[in-house]
Structure 1
């Protein structure tokens, strides 16, 4: 009733039918989804599920269909489109979950490393191709430091050779505090997931009570259970993206054999699986695509007719995925030990799972399926025509990283590296820069006698660690422009807090943006601009990749991307001048008015707003401001090279109190309802903007006291 449009839209996106609803903007996505064949994968999963999981999905589908069959009022989006929803199938939930997570893996980073390799050579891959080249801290054991990843050039050579044959052409925070650091003596849990700000919001605030379970938290529209964030009467759980590597890219050799497409495997040629798909486009002509698959999976980049193309092997698609078998045991768990065991079948995405129970135990589990294979697979697309890079089973569930009641009495995760180099298995290369993790650690280590207020307060931490690097570098510049001098003086006394009401964050952010643009104009970096992989889905451009790397290069005096003999003072001076000119033009001559909130705000856009501009005022939620940036605990990232509008941000915030569940809190960036006309469509936006939270009533009495309206559904 509340999210039917979102369910239908996500189901059609998963099936590669999004363009039929929303037009040509979804054509590229549809093409990828047809190649990945998510619906067939979800159907295979459903057929392999145990009886309890199929019963759950069957009952869920029956409930959805009962509403579709009896409602007199469909969502306004379906009325605008003139569409009636098809019956809900039990496997549709699985397809929705897949489409929400398929682009969260490592394959985009591997294509980026290949791009760096081809433009700048192997030596640049370690520095520019890995997000955590500078090192940081791990999750297990809490706070331990590690050095940045370095490329071993020997295993890279097969990938280099393979790529030379090609033709030219999503973060989050969580934490748990043990009873020895809390006022109640019981654990506290908090965190927030970071994704693009969808309309309606990806997460749905939900409370499910039945004789067997009583669970509250965030669910996905169209999917039963609470796979990511929630609590029952005994256990609280939450996740962040584990940043594991469970997607491999293979460069395949193809040939035409009497009109049939074949691909090489060792010393033989095998027939490729091919089919032609027609994608309907609203307001446009249908588009035909050829879908080609090998033993590794579908071709995702390149044209097999050219002789070489890249295929994707993905843990969630290469065999039936039993992950939904975890949903019911998760809701029924009575301790962190039972919660850990409930995750045995989890596959994708791999997550850092933090949890606490009412008995006082806190724990961490890295959940998900990670294949065991050649180390070179982690760096680049690898040759697919031999068996050197095949998967050799998975990391056993019993060997996945864990921690229970650590001496620190806290566990924090922020998409940082999970374990040190002594861990016997390869998990991944691409972790978030360490800045958020360092702030989480600092806040947690300082807690003593913590309450739920302290957990909520962590969400408002907006201190930028890399800002100091830029401010220190600016101090050495010779300036003569009075406005530039005044701006630098403001930065000199700034503590790095990116409070939205302050001027300093705007000066810093705009300078960093213009410094990225300056670097991209240099010959070395400009060589990264052409993308040698046509059709790469959701490609992240050089500006976004280098934005996170430049502060560290500035600190280390690394001039490898600059012109011959050039120092950082030249692009930095130009960037600072450009930034001040921009701020003056946009916000006026009075530097006191250059507040970060003047530039840094959300602009949530409904996927149908462009198709129906006359309804955009109804469909699009209001814009609000927020502090922070992509490096701060209060996460509010932008698209470098494009604008200062917020895109990747906190799409849910929560704080769970295991001593008194009714003291827990939560907030969403829009509202609980998916109906544009509802008063609850975006009624939490201002609270979210102020980094405050709403009560999260759990007990029957608290729910009844807080209820505004009630609805009773009687079985037919």
Structure 2
């Protein structure tokens, strides 16, 4: 999709035209999302969505909007209908937003933890603890004005989701003359305005997922009191999403369900924002997903805040009240990084487990070594392929007793020790490392200590293996945990008493050695195929800033990665840069396009 430029006199006229024009350029995307909202996809999604009662939440949230925001949303819907999609209701945009975030919370993670604890025990489950592979990967950073070439702040970001072409994000330029609105940014096709990423000319913002735990699974016994709402059993905690034949099951408590609010009251204040304080105030209306937000304006004010409603979790797991949002001012000579990782004391109130720290650490290194940045050099940070955990692998491999091993096995180890740790698409050593890692993962997952993870979940429900596969596959979990075990062997206790990690590493080297001559570049196997059959050769890896996720031990192809890349310049918006996967050559190269050229 190219940049959608919409101009109108008023905000309602702008929303109408945005809806109408979006149908012109992204009709297939709108129809696909509408099918998800209507639960007519013919997949296991339909039952999950229906049992979650999120359509009911979307309708009720729409009813609760203030008059001006509801008029804005309704005008967008009228524009969609005027362009030919007659089933688009006034509240459908809220449903689309809910579709994009229905599996974005902690539901899948809780299912995984319950399953791992059941089959391995709670101690072993904690040893495997790592944030959900399906949720982390995004990066964002900001530098104060004294750190940029033109004296004004810079913001960079690369949100990560399942990669699709067309992209989940649409680039837009929205101008409403009488309302003094002139915004460039990213939106979900089907949702008016801009949400997570925007630049109004005087203030800009970008986000990453804060990984907050905003869902709670509650076991429901057969005799638990419940009502029936739109054909779905509902307890005091929420809809019974997973229901067993005997009447027991699992209810899901979520923030939108409790509040009947999807955060759309933030839309118009964001469009009108002129300062960091304006964006900060707008985000007080935000609900979910909970985001780490970086904001900066032309006067040099820079803010990092958490936006969204986070329940305060007691030690028992019960919710009581709301977490006070974290806010921190960033000085003109400072930088800040948010990469789904633990950042300090405030993170403990968000969730027990967050993403691994590697991407955040690497961005801090890159920013600390770059005293002055402009939009182009800032954008290049997002193409960095250094895999920090590689050093822990190399240290452990270097400690192995290899004197009795065949020469071909020692050569594999020596190549990995000499490797620079970069997961470049052209690197054969990166591909060799990935082969060894996959061999280790397969052996560990097959070991009797971990093999029970392959048992079916104890939450029988139509198709959970398909819908929740990114959360319930043990291989990606073990691959992520491996990095931590190699850095700190005590983190795997008591699992390390069950298997010998050194023996597993040696066995993997022996397995890979005979085929080492056939190993090609990493980009030959680390690929993404577009709908028209174009095969993109990608660098990066899950732990790199260029986070292109595959499934170690299963499949090296990329299924998740950056669905946009941008740098907002506050000194001159026209010098900003961005891209989405639709620009396949630019995106695959880890690069960006000048915003000025796209808006010309």
Contact conserved, 1:554 with 1:568, CA < 8 A, in 2?
no
Q: Which has the higher helix share?
A: 2
Partner of 1:92: 92
Deviation at residue 197 of structure 1 after TM alignment: 0.8
2:241 to 294, 297, 300: 300
Q: Tell me how far apart the structure 1 counterparts of residues 512 and 233 of structure 2 sit (CA, whole Å).
A: 48
Contact 1:176 1:412 (8 Å CA) reproduced? yes
Q: Which residue of 2 aligns with 1:368?
A: 308
Matched with 2:542 is 630
Superposition RMSD on alpha carbons, in Å?
2.1
Give 1:387-466 correspondences, 5 Å limit. Answer: 389=318, 391-395=319-323, 399-406=324-331, 409-420=334-345, 426-466=349-389
The match for 1:311 is 251
SS at match of 1:248: strand
Q: Distance in 1 between matches of 2:420 and 2:49?
A: 46
Change (3 A) 1:563 1:666: closer
Counterpart among 481, 484, 488 of residue 409 in structure 2: 484
Report the Cα offset of residue 317 of structure 1: 2.2
From 295, 305, 330, the equivalent of 2:270 is 330
- Report Cα offsets for 1:435-494 as digits up to 9, x if no partner: 001011111222212212220110111110111222222222426444433332222222
Q: Which residue of 1 is the match for residue 35 of structure 2? A: 12
Deviation at 1:512, TM superposition (A): 1.0
Which residue number in structure 2 is paired with residue 667 of structure 1?
579
**Per-residue CA distance 1:512-557 (angstroms, 9 max, x = gap):** 1111111111111112221222234414211111110012223433
Confirm or deny: 8 A CA contact 2:186 2:196 kept in the other structure: yes
Match of 1:238 among 181, 195, 206: 206
Q: Is the 8 A contact 1:602 1:623 kept in 2?
A: yes
Structure 1 portions without partners, runs of 5+ = 20-25, 69-84, 133-169, 256-262, 264-269, 277-290, 378-388, 606-619, 671-683, 707-716
Is the CA contact 1:15–1:37 (under 8 Å) kept in the aligned structure 2? no
Q: Is the partner of 1:208 in helix, strand or coil?
A: strand
Q: Matched residues in 1 for 2:87 and 2:487: separation? A: 57
- What displacement does 1:58 show? 1.3
Aligned pairs for 1:302-701 (under 5 A) are 302-303=243-244, 305-377=245-317, 389=318, 391-395=319-323, 399-406=324-331, 409-420=334-345, 426-475=349-398, 476-478=400-402, 480-530=405-455, 531-535=457-461, 536=464, 537-539=467-469, 540=471, 541-558=473-490, 560=493, 566-581=499-514, 584=516, 589=517, 594-605=520-531, 620=532, 622-670=534-582, 684-697=583-596
Does the C-alpha gap of structure 1 residues 494 and 317 become closer, same or farther in structure 2, counting only changes over 3 Å?
Answer: same
5+ unaligned residues in a row in structure 2: which ranges?
A: 1-23
Distance in 2 between residues matched to 1:407 and 1:125, nearest whole Å: 43
| Structure 1 residue 703: Cα displacement | 6.6
Mapped contact 1:519–1:561 kept (Cα < 8 A) = no
Residue aligning to 1:199: 165
Deviation at 1:47, TM superposition (A): 0.5
Q: CA deviation at 1:357?
A: 0.5
Paired with 2:350 and 2:544, the residues of 1 have a C-alpha distance of: 25
SS of 1:237 mapped into structure 2:
strand
2:149 to 159, 176, 183: 183
Deviation at 1:565, TM superposition (A): 6.7
SS of match in other structure, 1:524? coil
Please say if residues 221 and 249 of structure 2, whose CA atoms lie closer than 8 Å, have aligned partners that are also in contact: yes
In 2, Cα distance between the equivalents of 1:449 and 1:553?
Answer: 36
Partner of 1:227: 195
Contact 2:335 2:367 in 1 (8 A): yes
Aligned to 1:282: none
> Secondary structure of 2:251's match?
strand
Deviation at 1:107, TM superposition (A): 2.0
Mapped partners of 1:130, 1:192: distance in 2:
21
The TM-score, its normalising length taken from structure 2, stands at 0.89
Shift, 1:239, TM fit: 0.5
Q: Is the 8 A contact 1:557 1:568 kept in 2?
A: no
In the alignment, is the contact (CA less than 8 A) between 1:197 and 1:604 conserved in 2?
A: no
- Corresponding residue number in structure 2 for 1:153: none
Q: Distance in 2 between matches of 1:42 and 1:563?
A: 47
CA-CA distance at 1:185 after TM superposition: 1.1
Contact kept in structure 2, 1:241 and 1:350, CA below 8 Å:
yes
What is the rounded CA distance, in whole Å, between the counterparts of 1:322 and 1:542 in structure 2?
A: 33
319-328 or 212-221, which deviates more = 319-328
Residue 48 of structure 1 is matched in structure 2 by 64
Q: Cα 1:691–1:199, aligned 2, differ >3 Å: closer, same or farther?
A: closer
Of 192-201 and 342-351, the range deviating more from structure 2: 192-201
- Kindly provide the CA deviation profile for residues 287-312 of structure 1, in whole angstroms up to 9, marking residues without a partner as x: xxxx3221211112241x42531100
Larger Rg: 1
Q: Secondary structure at the match of 1:329?
A: helix
Following superposition, the deviation at residue 187 of structure 1 comes to 0.4
Deviations 1:186-215 (A, max 9, x none): 101111001111232100111111212111
Distance, in Å, in 1 between the alignment partners of 2:380 and 2:303 is 22
Change (3 A) 1:703 1:464: closer
CA distance in 1, matches of 2:190, 2:216: 29
In structure 1, how many angstroms separate the alpha carbons of the residues matched to 2:70 and 2:593?
35
| Partners of 2:498 and 2:253 in 1: CA distance | 44
TM-score (norm 1): 0.75
